[in-house]
């Protein structure tokens, strides 16, 4: 009897496409609005002055800046150099001393146990090889140190957005949904043998209107920007309609503006093994 083995996804090719997507538009326009999440995460992870902190898939540096404001010694990493430059400009504007370094979350160029804390806000969850990324975060964190993350949940507005995008441009076969990082059960598997604590929180998107949110995201948020660019005019229109329907469903405002709570999981892993 012939046994057919499933081929592993081509993670390198997938990662290259993701890197192009996140480098398109200008994520910093969206990312800077999420700053409060970095501040809250640093409190949850009990970041302290003098600690060595690594921000993984840092984007334009929300967790980076929050940790540096607490006098930690921060290394901010991402595989999109232009995003690190935006983070560098923000740090310089505040007079914060931060080291910025291009790095792949699945292959971190740091020694074992080098950091007291490893952070990521809506970043590492998008790596294609989830087990590899989690393993790297654990590897570079010292025993007794903390790994702090903010990850969108599957049923959050952003989790549902990615389901909509996947209906128009299906994700590569064999790649697990990023929103799994927003579930305690999956985190327990990724960080098995370590203490995983999770708290459900909400980030509230506040924009002038649902249409304003869509305009910002289609111009600056890489996944939406690239998805629309890959579709013909009819499918572009259908995708915009589906996104607007989601926004109206999630909107709690009654005055024409957008006030849309989006659930995320605040995660603090204590490395015990």
Tens of pLDDT along 26-72?
899 999 999 999 999 999 999 999 999 999 999 999 999 999 999 99
Going by C-alpha positions, the residue among 200, 224, 193, 269 that lies closest to residue 27 is 224
pLDDT of residue 16: 75
Confidence at 2, pLDDT banded by 50, 70, 90: very low
3-state secondary structure at position 177: coil
pLDDT of residue 48: 98
Q: What is the CATH number of the domain that holds 42?
A: 3.40.50.150
In whole angstroms, what is the distance from residue 146 CA to residue 78 CA?
A: 20
Q: Please indicate, yes or no, if residue 195 is contained in any of the structural domains.
A: yes
Confidence at 5, pLDDT banded by 50, 70, 90: very low
Q: Please indicate, yes or no, if residue 240 is contained in any of the structural domains.
A: no
Measure the CA dihedral 6/12/13/15, to 10°: 110
Q: Please indicate, yes or no, if residue 192 is contained in any of the structural domains.
A: yes
Number of domains in the chain: 1
Res 220 pLDDT > 90? yes
Q: Please indicate, yes or no, if residue 250 is contained in any of the structural domains.
A: no
Beta strands 195-207 and 141-152 are: unpaired
Strands across the sheet with 52-55, in order? 98-102, 73-78, 52-55, 115-121, 141-152, 258-270, 195-207
Res 6 pLDDT > 70? no
pLDDT digits (tens, 9 = 90+) for 87-129: 999 999 999 999 999 999 999 999 999 999 999 999 999 999 9
Confidence at 7, pLDDT banded by 50, 70, 90: low
Using a pLDDT cut of 90, give the percent of the chain over it.
88
Q: Look at 120-124, 168-172, 199-203, 260-264 and tell me which has the smallest mean pLDDT.
A: 168-172
Strand partners, 52: 73
Q: How far is CA 259 from CA 212, 250, 262, 267, in A?
A: 12, 8, 10, 24
pLDDT of residue 21: 73
pLDDT of residue 14: 77
Q: Look at 8-17, 140-149, 190-199, 209-218 and tell me which has the smallest mean pLDDT.
A: 8-17
Res 215 pLDDT > 50? yes
Pure H helices in 24-156? 27-31, 35-44, 62-69, 81-94, 130-140
Q: Please indicate, yes or no, if residue 220 is contained in any of the structural domains.
A: no
pLDDT of residue 12: 79
Count the Cβ atoms, other than its own, within 10 Å of residue 203. Answer: 22
Pure H helices in the chain? 11-23, 27-31, 35-44, 62-69, 81-94, 130-140, 157-168, 184-190, 210-220, 222-230, 233-250
Going by C-alpha positions, the residue among 246, 169, 156 that lies closest to residue 201 is 156
Give the CA count within 13 Å in the CB-facing half-sphere of 49. 3
Q: What residues have CB less than 8 Å from 201, skipping those under 6 apart?
A: 37, 40, 150, 263, 264, 265, 266
Residues of the domain holding 23: 11-206+261-270
């Amino acid at each position: 009897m012939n046994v057919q083995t499933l081929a592993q996804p081509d993670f390198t090719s997938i990662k290259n496409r993701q890197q192009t997507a996140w480098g398109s538009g200008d994520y910093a326009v969206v990312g800077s609005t999420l700053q409060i999440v970095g501040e809250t995460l640093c409190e949850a992870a009990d970041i302290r002055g003098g600690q060595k902190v690594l921000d993984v898939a840092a984007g334009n540096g929300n967790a980076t800046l929050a940790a540096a404001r607490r006098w930690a010694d921060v290394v901010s990493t991402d595989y999109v150099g232009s995003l690190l430059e935006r983070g560098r400009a923000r740090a310089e504007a505040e007079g914060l001393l931060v080291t910025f370094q291009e790095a792949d979350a699945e292959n971190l160029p740091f020694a074992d146990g080098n950091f007291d804390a490893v952070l990521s806000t809506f970043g590492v969850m998008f790596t294609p090889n989830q087990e590899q990324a989690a393993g790297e975060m654990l590897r570079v964190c010292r025993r007794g140190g903390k790994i702090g993350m903010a990850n969108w949940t599957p049923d959050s507005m952003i989790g549902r957005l990615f389901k909509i995008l996947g209906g128009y441009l299906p994700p590569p076969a064999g790649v697990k949904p990023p929103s799994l990082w927003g579930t305690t059960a999956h985190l327990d598997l990724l960080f098995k043998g370590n203490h995983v604590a999770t708290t459900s929180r909400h980030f509230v998107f506040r924009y002038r209107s649902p249409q304003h949110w869509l305009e910002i995201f289609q111009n600056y948020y890489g996944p939406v920007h690239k998805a629309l660019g890959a579709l013909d005019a009819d499918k572009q229109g259908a995708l915009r309609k589906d996104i607007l329907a989601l926004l109206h469903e999630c909107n709690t405002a009654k005055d024409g503006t957008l006030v849309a709570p989006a659930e995320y999981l605040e995660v603090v892993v204590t490395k015990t093994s």
